[in-house]
A = this chain, B = another copy of it.
């Protein structure tokens, strides 16, 4: 329970407390946590000695704080809960609460490397059927290797940033042509943000996930399917993805998701030893995709074949180092039903089965469309917490 007006019973109560970076007016950008419809100014709180975090809360990104490691993450969180729960702190803390509508939310961390996985069996299978009809839906490596690739870190943008329709090459029956993408799509994903780095040559064991990963963001991996289809062989997606990847402004700390870990799907055939996580846990995050305000899909993250701990172990098994700010995303979250898919490619089955949006038949994104991905997760005592949404509106090609 908190003394903050309206926060009790909200999905942003004191059991949630996601971190972000905000700016109010001409003040410098600073770190805050969301509680109810307020942002607690943590730079101000640290300056007033209400919270101690080695000065890391006075920075314009979360990176220095994320580098401190789990003991500090947990102690800072406990202290914030105390400040927001105990009436005795109210007079000192209340002046540091800023109404959410008065702030601009910024990219919460400086992205080091961005990796995108491909961890939903249903998504990989759907894409296989759509792109390679008549062939096995899953490639032979898929149940052995958590397939992933590097994306462009420099074009990761915060929720709310407009997305310009990309121009690029696509194949036509008359040969390749260059122009604005005509198959602009979304991918609803969950991203994991690395706080604690590792040295080059080292591996991060599958059980050390929580020592390195600070928290979770929602991700929209905007995808130009026509550009991607023409370019992706043999080295994978490039310009079909690199124009923009949106992330939520709020990073939900793993500590807020303690009640959301659930057994992940059984893996058969057995995975390689370095991927053997005990217990084998996924996260019960329930995503929702809104297309111009209409809910078109509810992708269930709990059903992902590969877990975030397995992805991290895989990413580093070759000795690749981690840096603070590394972001790795799950890949599109799709469940078994048509109403559970995380891309419009799947929702409209390659554009062949339009859906009704705003009364019109739609396949891919039109200029002016807005897509918002949100999610909830189980909190303590039967409560529900919300993850910060990721939203974006498509602007016409230049």
Contact = CB atoms under 8 A, between A and B. Distances in A.
23 contacts: A115-B238, A141-B176, A141-B230, A147-B234, A149-B150, A149-B235, A149-B236, A155-B321, A164-B201, A164-B319, A167-B317, A167-B318, A178-B273, A178-B274, A178-B317, A200-B244, A201-B398, A232-B236, A233-B234, A236-B237, A239-B317, A239-B320, A242-B318
A203 B320 CA distance: 32
Lowest 6 CB-CB distances: which A-B pairs, in order? A236-B236, A166-B318, A150-B150, A164-B201, A149-B235, A235-B236
A150 B152 contact: yes
A242 B200 CA distance: 10
Contact of A238 (B148, B171, B175): B148
A154 interface: yes
A168 interface: yes
Interface of A: 112-113, 115, 118, 131, 139, 141, 144-145, 147-155, 157, 164, 166-169, 171, 175-178, 200-203, 224, 227, 230-240, 242-244, 269, 272-274, 314-315, 317-323, 326, 395, 398
Contacts of A237: 149, 235-236
A273 B179 CA distance: 11
A238 B118 CA distance: 13
A326 B150 CA distance: 14
Contacts of A139: 233-234
A150 B200 contact: no
Given A178-B274, A320-B243, A398-B201, A169 B153 contact: no
A238 B149 contact: yes
Nearest to A200: B155
A141 B233 contact: yes
Given A144-B169, A153-B113, A176-B144, A398 B234 contact: no
The quantity of this chain's copies bound in the complex is 2
B243 A154 contact: no
A240 B150 CA distance: 12
A237 B320 CA distance: 14
A240 B320 CA distance: 10
A231 B141 contact: yes
Given A152-B113, A318-B167, A320-B155, A236 B234 contact: yes
A224 B118 CA distance: 21
Contact of A154 (B178, B317, B322): B322
A395 B262 CA distance: 40
A231 B234 CA distance: 12
Nearest to A397: B319
A275 B274 CA distance: 44
Given A144-B176, A151-B150, A230-B145, A118 B317 contact: no
Nearest to A273: B178
Contacts of A231: 141, 145, 147
Contacts of A236: 149, 232, 234-237
Given A169-B272, A201-B398, A272-B176, A154 B113 contact: yes
B318 A239 contact: yes
Contacts of A148: 235, 238
Given A113-B153, A164-B201, 15 more contacts: A112-B153, A113-B152, A139-B234, A141-B233, A145-B169, A145-B176, A149-B237, A150-B152, A155-B321, A167-B319, A175-B269, A235-B237, A236-B236, A239-B317, A242-B320
Nearest to A113: B154
A318 B272 contact: no
Contacts of A224: 318
